[in-house]
């Protein structure tokens, strides 16, 4: 071990304070410290204290100096730095507010004032007496763990005292599934709503915007041009990406109705809570929880948007893009209400047993015109006359796709017509 006391010289004049340069065996390079004392005996004592402290830290007998100093600072000051860092990193204000609420609530209820006060046992006892849903309790655990992980990265705490606290397993609990609105419910809801509420509902219903995205929507995000559009800024979206969507006439008219003469800033200055919107649900006769135990809340409007796209024949990939989903599973399974899909029409297309069992006959598939509004190809048509399969590809009016019509294959074989390429 090397340790040297010396006084620095500047322009030939020695500093009145003693300095220490030392290097322990495990240190890659030497360190230099200003002892801020002019007396040599006092400097030697401080030198010995610094060396002893470095050895104890190295052998794990005491925590590093930075952690010891951080432990003397109240949690509220660490939290302030944590939230400021998250804001710098681009986290949304909505996310930062929730993190602040989670940590502050736990510190108040568990009586945590300093970092050393945070204990797993305190959190487990607090969680056991709360009336929050298991989902909300898991959010509290995730929020405080995120804060502690930041403290570890900043070298303010040695380890995570909540590291082994497990979140609540929600797989076996009785969940309330969200449903989509029916057409009649949508009509009634829009009839009883105020102009402001109507505009909010239509943005969720025909754009698929989330609660927080609508809440932070500004007039500059709306383009009332030849093709009206709405821009969802990256700072407001869930996936932190910009998105632009076209607006239907109904949505544009509802926004124009509430547009002030000098439109600037947020569109909805006072954004209503869901408990306020429940009055519209009650006036429209829509139960929040129906007889089947399914929930119809504000986010159900987004699920209705996805379900309407499927029932209208919109291709899955386009629906996924409109919903701004990264996975097709979310679009197909989570946000599509299967109870509103017309499975009866699909069953009606199947051939009957009597048609299948006809001897020497091909199964008869009822020719249905499914090329509506250019969304689908029509189903192929078979004919049981002379056991021949009849098909011809033709272009149907008012459609961008090709439908399948009837043509005798025998005519193709005889050279009467050219087969379609």
Instruction: Please check the confidence at residue 250 and state whether its pLDDT lies above 80.
Output: yes
Buried b (16+ CB within 10 A) or exposed e, 354-390: eeeeeeeebebeebeebbeeeeeebbebbbeeeeeeb
How many Cα atoms sit within 13 Å of 246 on the Cβ side? 5
Q: Assign 381 a pLDDT band (cuts: 50, 70, 90).
A: very low
Q: What is the pLDDT of residue 417?
A: 47
Q: What is the pLDDT of residue 248?
A: 92
Instruction: Please check the confidence at residue 357 and state whether its pLDDT lies above 80.
Output: no
How many Cα atoms sit within 13 Å of 176 on the Cβ side? 13
Greatest mean pLDDT range, 5-9, 18-22, 253-257: 253-257
| Distance from C-alpha of 370 to C-alpha of 223, rounded to nearest angstrom | 35
- In terms of pLDDT, which residue wins out, 224 or 57? 224
Q: Could you report the per-residue pLDDT of 255-269, keeping only the tens digit for each?
A: 999 998 888 889 998
Q: Out of 15-29, 65-79, 129-143, pick the least confident.
A: 15-29
Instruction: Please check the confidence at residue 412 and state whether its pLDDT lies above 50.
Output: no
Q: What is the DSSP string of 13-43?
A: EE-SS-EEEEE-TT-SS-EEEE-----HHHH
| Distance from C-alpha of 297 to C-alpha of 204, rounded to nearest angstrom | 12
Tell me what percent of the residues of the chain surpass a pLDDT of 90. Answer: 46
Distances 410 to 358, 359, 364, 414 between C-alpha atoms, Å: 22, 21, 18, 6
Q: Out of 7-11, 255-259, 269-273, 404-408, pick the least confident.
A: 404-408
Q: Assign 362 a pLDDT band (cuts: 50, 70, 90).
A: low
Distances 223 to 174, 214, 219, 255 between C-alpha atoms, Å: 44, 15, 8, 11
Q: What is the pLDDT of residue 190?
A: 94
Q: Assign 119 a pLDDT band (cuts: 50, 70, 90).
A: very high
Q: What is the pLDDT of residue 45?
A: 87
Q: What is the pLDDT of residue 415?
A: 53
| Distance from C-alpha of 66 to C-alpha of 193, rounded to nearest angstrom | 58
Q: What is the pLDDT of residue 269?
A: 87
- In terms of pLDDT, which residue wins out, 14 or 75? 75
Instruction: Please check the confidence at residue 214 and state whether its pLDDT lies above 60.
Output: yes
Distances 397 to 16, 371, 372, 382, 394 between C-alpha atoms, Å: 98, 9, 10, 22, 10
Q: What is the pLDDT of residue 360?
A: 52
Q: Assign 413 a pLDDT band (cuts: 50, 70, 90).
A: very low
Q: Out of 26-35, 130-139, 287-296, 372-381, pick the least confident.
A: 372-381
Q: Out of 92-101, 222-231, 404-413, pick the least confident.
A: 404-413
3-state secondary structure 282-349: HHCCCCCECCCCCECCCCHHHHHHHHHHHHCCCCHHHHHHHHCCCCHHHHHHHCCCHHHCCHHHHHHH
Q: What is the pLDDT of residue 306?
A: 93
Report the run of H or E that residue 393 belongs to, with start and end: strand 390-395
Q: Show the CA angle centred on residue 66, arms to residues 60 and 67, nearest 5°.
A: 60
Q: What is the pLDDT of residue 361?
A: 53
Report the run of H or E that residue 5 belongs to, with start and end: strand 2-6
Q: Assign 166 a pLDDT band (cuts: 50, 70, 90).
A: very high
Q: Out of 308-322, 341-355, 376-390, pick the least confident.
A: 376-390
Q: What mean pLDDT value characterizes the chain?
A: 82
Say if CB 106 and CB 139 are below 8 A apart. Answer: no
Q: Per the structure block, which two tokens stand in for 241?
A: 């990406």
Tell me what percent of the residues of the chain surpass a pLDDT of 70. Answer: 84
- Residues listed for the chain: 421
Instruction: Please check the confidence at residue 354 and state whether its pLDDT lies above 50.
Output: yes
Q: What is the pLDDT of residue 15?
A: 84
This prediction has a pTM of 0.62
């Amino acid at each position: 071990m090397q340790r040297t006391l010396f006084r620095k010289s500047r322009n030939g004049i020695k500093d009145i304070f003693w300095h220490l340069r030392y290097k322990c065996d495990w240190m890659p390079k030497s360190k230099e410290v200003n002892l801020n004392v002019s007396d040599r005996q006092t400097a030697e004592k401080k030198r010995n204290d610094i060396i002893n402290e470095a050895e104890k830290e190295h052998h794990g007998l005491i925590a590093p100096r930075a952690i010891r100093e951080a432990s003397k600072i109240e949690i509220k000051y660490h939290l302030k730095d944590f939230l400021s860092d998250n804001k710098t990193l681009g986290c949304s204000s909505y996310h930062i507010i929730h993190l602040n609420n989670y940590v502050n609530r736990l510190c108040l209820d568990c009586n945590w004032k300093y970092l050393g006060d945070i204990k797993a046992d305190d959190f487990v006892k607090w969680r056991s007496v709360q009336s929050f849903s298991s989902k909300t309790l898991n959010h509290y655990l995730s929020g405080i763990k995120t804060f502690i992980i930041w403290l570890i990265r900043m070298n303010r705490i040695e380890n995570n005292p909540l590291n082994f606290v497990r979140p609540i397993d929600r797989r076996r609990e009785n969940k309330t599934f969200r449903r989509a609105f029916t057409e009649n419910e949508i009509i009634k809801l829009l009839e009883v709503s105020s102009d402001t509420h109507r505009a909010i509902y239509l943005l969720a219903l025909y754009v698929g915007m989330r609660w927080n995205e609508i809440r932070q929507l500004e007039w500059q995000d709306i383009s009332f041009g030849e093709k009206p559009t709405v821009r969802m800024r990256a700072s407001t979206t869930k996936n932190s990406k910009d998105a632009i969507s076209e607006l239907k006439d109904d949505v544009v008219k509802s926004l124009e109705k509430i547009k002030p003469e000098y439109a600037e800033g947020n569109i909805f200055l006072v954004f209503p809570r869901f408990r306020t919107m429940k009055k519209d649900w009650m006036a429209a006769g829509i139960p929040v929880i129906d007889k089947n135990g399914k929930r119809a809340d504000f986010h159900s409007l987004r699920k209705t948007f996805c379900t309407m796209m499927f029932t209208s024949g919109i291709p899955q990939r386009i629906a996924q893009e409109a919903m701004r989903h990264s996975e097709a599973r979310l679009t197909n399974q989570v946000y599509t209400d299967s109870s509103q899909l017309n499975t009866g029409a699909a069953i009606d297309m199947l051939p009957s047993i009597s048609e299948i069992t006809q001897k020497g006959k091909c199964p008869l598939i009822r020719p249905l015109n499914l090329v509506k509004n250019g969304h689908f190809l029509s189903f192929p048509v078979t004919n049981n006359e002379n056991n021949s399969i009849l098909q011809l590809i033709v272009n149907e009016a008012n459609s961008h796709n090709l439908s399948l019509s009837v043509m005798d294959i025998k005519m193709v074989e005889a050279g009467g017509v050219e087969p379609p390429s």
